[in-house]
Amino acid sequence: MVRLERRRRLFDAMADHDLDVLVLGRPADVVYATGARQLWTSGSRPFGPACLAVAETGRTHLLSTWDEGVPPELSHDDLYGLSWNPANLAASLAKIPGLSSARRVGTGSLSPGFPRLIKALASDAELVDGTPAIWAARVTKTVEEIAAIRRATAVAEAGLAVMVEALSPGVTERQLLAVYVERIASLGAPTPPSEAVATITGDLVALDAGAMVDGYEGGAAGTWTTGGERVVDERCRASLEAVVAACRGGATGADLRRAWESTGQPMPAVPLVHGIGLGMEPPIVAAGVGDDAVLAEGMALSVTARVDGFVERELVFL
Amino acid sequence: MRRERYAKLQHQLEGQELDGLLLLGTGNVAYATGAAAPAVDSARAAFMRQVAVVRPGEPAPVLFTPYPDGAPSDVEVHGPLYPDLDDGAAVMADLFAPGARVAADEVTHPMSRAFAGLELSPASAVLGPAKLLKTADELECIRAAQHLNELAMADVQPLVRPGVRQVDLTARFLRRIFELGADANGIDPIWQVMPPTKAEGPWTTHGDIAFPTPSSERVLEEGDVIWVDTGIHVEGYASDFGRTWICADDPRPSPRQHDQARRWREVVEAVLALCKPGVSALELCRAAIAANGGTKPWIKHFYLAHGVGTDSAEMPLIGTDLGEAFDEQMILEPGMVLVLEPVIWDDGASGYRSEDIVAITDEGWVQLSDYPYDPYETT
C-alpha cells in the first residue's frame, strides 16, 4: 500500500517539523500526499494551494472538482473545486477543519501574494518553509516506490530501443523523439519526463529516454552512432563509474563532485546526480550546487555522465 | 516579435516604477526571452528551471538556463540557477540591489531567505497587461501552432473506432506532432468519454460536468461520445484544439446530436456577432446565454472563452467565477485572442463541445482555427 505508507511518512515528517498544516502546490508533492491522478501539463505550474495536509485531523484536502482518479481514502468532503477567483478559493479553504487554528503552516513554495492568503485563513499562524518536511518524507524510497521506478525504467528502455531501431544516417532529433513518444504512449505512459531525448553530435547520437509510470520516473541512456552501433567512450564510462562508486550513505555532494573531477572532467552545468522518484528530486549535484547534500540509505539516484557527445546513465538505489 | 514583447515589459516596469521583473514560470520565461526549451515534467521544470530577469532600461533580458542552445542571440545568457536549492538561491541575492522593488511569479523558500531585503510584488501586474494584446507576429505563431495541431488531429480522427484505447490515440497524436515539426507537447491529450447524464459521470463539487479528466488505457466503444482536447507549442505559443467526436466505424450522429452541434454553433455565432473592439466580455456572456435559451452554455468551473498565448489558458478569461463585474470591465481590444468553448448539454443525451479560436481586429474578428466539425453538421 504505497499510498498509505507515503501518507504516514508525510504526517510523521509534519510532526517531526512541528507543522500543523502543510500546503502543497507542486504536482509531485500532491501525488505523494494523496495518490490522486492529475492532468499532466508540461512545464512548471504556478504555485498555489493544490493540497493541504492537516495534522489535527489527519486528513488531506485536495483541489479537485471531481472524484475521478481520487483514491477512496479521500472523501468528497476532502475535495474543493477549481476557482479563478481568489476570494472563492479562500472561502473553500476556510472550510477546512483545523486550518484556522493552526500555529505553524508550512508551504512547498511561495508567491508574492501567498503570505497574505495564509494570514487570512490562519491568522495566528507562523508561515514556514515546508520543504524540509516534504523531503524528509519523500527522499528515501519504499520497496514499492523502487518497484515503480523500475517499471518506469522498463518503459523508458522500450522507448530507447525504438529510437535505436530508427537510427540511420540523416535521422533528426525530432524524428527520434516522434518514435519514442509514440512507443511510451502505446505502453500506457504518455508523459515523458523530458522531450530532450536525443542529441546528435556529428555521427554520435546520445539517447537519454525517460518514462513516468504511476507518477514515478525511470530512465535509461547510452550512445550510438547514426548507423545504429552502440559505442561506449572509455572516459565517459570511467567518469560514470567513479561517481556511482562514490554514491553511498553518508557521502556528500562534494564527494560526488570530487569523484567526477578526479577523472579530469569539468563539472557539467546540468545535474551530474539527482534524486529520482516522483520525477526529478533532490539531492541535486551540479556545477555550483549540491556540495552540502548528504546521501542516505534508501535514496534513489540518477547519475548521468556526458562527455564530448557521449552519454552514459545509471540509476543507483542506496 | 521578441523586441515588441520586451518593449511592452519595459513599458510596464517603468509605468509601475519597478526595479525588475523576475520570472520562473515556463510560459512567462518564454514570453520575456523567446528562449526555446524542451517540454519537461513539472518536477524537472522546477529543479532545472529557466529564470528570466528584466531590468528597466536594459537593452535585453537576462536568461539563466540549462538549455543555452535555445536562447535567441540578443538575450544575455548565463548557466542555470537553482532557485529551489539554498546554494542555488544564494547566488540570486545579487541579481537586485537591496531594497529593490521586484515583480516575481514565484518565490521559493530559499529565494525568500536570500531576498530578505527586496520588496516583492506579483508579476501578473506586469505580464497581464503585456500579454493581453497580441502582436501580428504572435497571432501568426498561434495560428501556426493551431494549424499543426489540426493536421495531427486529422490523422488521429479516423482511428477513433471501437476497440481503440485512449493511449493509442495519444501515441499517434504525439508521433505526428513531432513529425510535423512541433516544438513541444503541452498537455496529456484528452479523449474523454462523456456519459449520457451528469449523474453517470464522476461526482463533482458543483454538480456540473467533470471535464477534462486524464486519459488512460480505457478502450473506446461503439457510440461513445468523445470530447477531445489537445495542445502543443510552436515557437513558444500554444494551440488549443477541442472537438466532439463519436466512436464508430461509420460515425453517424443522431438527429439530437446534430441538433446539439447546431445549438453550439448558434451560441458561437451569437458571440461572434458582437466581437469587436469596445464590447465587454459581459455582453458576450449575455449573448451566449440568450442564444442557449437562458441557460449558461459553459461548464461551471470554466469559462465561455479564454485567451491563449505562451500559456494555453490566459487572459482574457470570460465567464469565470471572477464574476460579472470582472467581465464587465474586460473590454475587447484589437489583438485579444478568444478561444470560444461553449458547451451544450442535454442531460440524458450527453452533449457537444468544441473550441474555435478568433482574434479581435480593428473591425471585428478573424479566425485562427480551421478544423471541420465532422461527423456533426453544425448548419
Q: What is the pLDDT of residue A193?
A: 98
* Contact between A65 and B206 using a beta-carbon 8 Å cutoff: yes
Q: What is the pLDDT of residue A268?
A: 83
* Contact between A42 and B185 using a beta-carbon 8 Å cutoff: yes
Q: Any chain A CB within 8 A of the CB of B73?
A: no
CB B60 within 8 A of CB B2: no
One CATH from 3.20.10.10, 3.90.230.10, 2.30.110.10, 3.40.470.10 for B136-367 = 3.90.230.10
Query: Domain spans of chain A?
Result: 2-138, 143-317
Q: Is A143-317 a domain of CATH 3.30.479.30?
A: no
Question: What is the average pLDDT across B111-127?
Answer: 94
Q: Is A2-138 a domain of CATH 3.40.350.10?
A: yes
- Between positions 168 and 207 of B, the ones with CB within 8 A of A are 168, 170-172, 174-176, 178-179, 181, 184-190, 201-206
- Between positions 5 and 24 of A, the ones with CB within 8 A of B are none
CA atoms of B274 and A53, how far apart (whole Å)? 46
Tell me which chain B residue has its CA closest to the CA of residue A89.
B321
Share of chain A above pLDDT 90, in %: 97
Lookup: cell for B240? 488549443
CA atoms of A163 and A249, how far apart (whole Å)? 35
The identity of residue A85, as a single letter, is N
pLDDT for residue A317 is more than 80: yes
Do the strands B337-340 and B51-54 form a parallel or antiparallel pair, or are they unpaired? unpaired
Tell me which chain B residue has its CA closest to the CA of residue A185.
B171
Average pLDDT, chain A: 97
Q: Any chain A CB within 8 A of the CB of B216?
A: yes
When pLDDT is cut at 50, 70 and 90, the band that residue A131 belongs to is very high
When pLDDT is cut at 50, 70 and 90, the band that residue B353 belongs to is very high
CA atoms of A291 and A283, how far apart (whole Å)? 10
CA atoms of B263 and B244, how far apart (whole Å)? 14
Q: Which of B223, B159, B230, B166 is nearest to B196 (CA)?
A: B223
When CB atoms are compared, the residue of B122, B168, B323 closest to A186 is B168
Q: Any chain A CB within 8 A of the CB of B16?
A: no
When CB atoms are compared, the residue of B109, B121, B202 closest to A67 is B202
Question: What is the average pLDDT across B51-68?
Answer: 96
What is the tally of helices (H) and strands (E) in chain A? 9, 13
Q: Which of B293, B274, B256, B249 is nearest to B340 (CA)?
A: B274
User: What SS3 class is residue A240?
Assistant: helix
* Contact between A110 and B121 using a beta-carbon 8 Å cutoff: no
What number is the ipTM of this complex?
Answer: 0.96
pLDDT for residue B12 is more than 80: yes
Contacts of B47 in chain A (CB under 8 A): 271, 274, 280-282, 284
Lookup: cell for A307? 562527455
For the entire predicted model, the pTM comes to 0.97
Question: What is the average pLDDT across A276-283?
Answer: 98
Average pLDDT, chain B: 97
Question: What pLDDT, in 10s, does the model give residues A66-97?
Answer: 999 999 999 999 999 999 999 999 999 999 99
**The domain at B2-131 falls in which architecture?**
3-Layer(aba) Sandwich (3.40)
The single-letter DSSP state of residue A294 is: B
Q: From the candidates B26, B41, B321, which should be mutated to test the interface with A, based on the most A CB atoms within 10 A?
A: B41
When pLDDT is cut at 50, 70 and 90, the band that residue B379 belongs to is confident
Q: How far is A56 from chain B (nearest CA, A)?
A: 24
When pLDDT is cut at 50, 70 and 90, the band that residue A169 belongs to is very high
* Contact between A112 and B122 using a beta-carbon 8 Å cutoff: yes
Query: Domain spans of chain B?
Result: 2-131, 136-367
SS3 of A66-127: the string is ECCCCCCCCCHHHEECCCCCHHHHHHHHHCCCCCCCCCEEEECCECCCHHHHHHHHCCCCEE
Q: Any chain A CB within 8 A of the CB of B125?
A: no
Contacts of B214 in chain A (CB under 8 A): 37-40, 69
Contacts of A64 in chain B (CB under 8 A): 205
When pLDDT is cut at 50, 70 and 90, the band that residue A206 belongs to is very high
Handedness of CA B71, B75, B78, B81 (dihedral sign): negative
CB B277 within 8 A of CB B333: yes
Handedness of CA A35, A41, A42, A46 (dihedral sign): negative
When pLDDT is cut at 50, 70 and 90, the band that residue A43 belongs to is very high
Q: What is the pLDDT of residue B93?
A: 85
pLDDT for residue A1 is more than 90: no
Strand stretches in chain A, DSSP E:
21-24, 51-54, 59-63, 79-80, 104-107, 126-129, 198-201, 204-213, 216-225, 273-277, 279-285, 300-307, 310-317
Q: From the candidates A29, A68, A84, which should be mutated to test the interface with B, based on the most B CB atoms within 10 A?
A: A84
Q: Any chain A CB within 8 A of the CB of B59?
A: no
- Between positions 69 and 108 of A, the ones with CB within 8 A of B are 69, 76, 79-85, 88, 107
